[in-house]
Amino acid sequence: MALSISLSVNGQPRDVELDDPRVTLLDLLRERLVLAGTKKGCDRGQCGACTVLVDGRRINSCLVLAASLDGAEVTTIEGLAQGETLHPVQAAFIAHDGFQCGYCTPGQIMSAVGLIAEGHAGDDPERIRELMSGNICRCAAYKGITEAVLEAQQTLAGADSSRRDAA
């Protein structure tokens, strides 16, 4: 039995027909929509490699059925940059060497974007590490990742205050 859903992926409306209602969001993104930036790690929600934003909240896409997301807004790593301009979190990951092999990096970046948007990051590196603990990095780039989150949060806070001052 086919099921049709409509969702927005990286700002683009997508109508998708699911032949199997058990398809996860991760598999839909990678196999059907050819967005391979989101990685399949453990496929059990334990490593965070598949982290994306759904309606602005971070989720493990391997644990969510695509059929449950009719009408949702999904943002993947491919949807962060604005043309050639990297998102501040992406730029901070580069500046602070927040990746080594790069496999976990898309999930780490998406988790960091969500964490900052949720307003939970603060300026405490230990709290950031705790809130990012669902994203595992086997290369142990955690110091650079934490520094990147702190810098990106400051950059984004500065951009927000500039927009408020302009208004």
Q: Residue range 105-131: average pLDDT?
A: 90
Q: How confident is the model at residue 122 (pLDDT cuts 50, 70, 90)?
A: confident
pLDDT at 34: 97
Separation between Cα atoms, residue 106 and residue 90, nearest integer Å: 9
For the 88-161 domain, the top CATH level (class) is: mainly alpha
Whether the predicted pLDDT of 165 surpasses 70: no
Q: Which residues of 15-49 are buried (b: 16+ CB within 10 A; e: fewer)?
A: ebebeeeebbbbbbbbeebebebbbbbeeebebbb
Domain ranges for the chain:
3-79, 88-161
Do the domains at 3-79 and 88-161 have one common CATH topology?
no
pLDDT at 152: 92
**pTM reported for the whole predicted model:** 0.88
3-79 CATH? 3.10.20.30
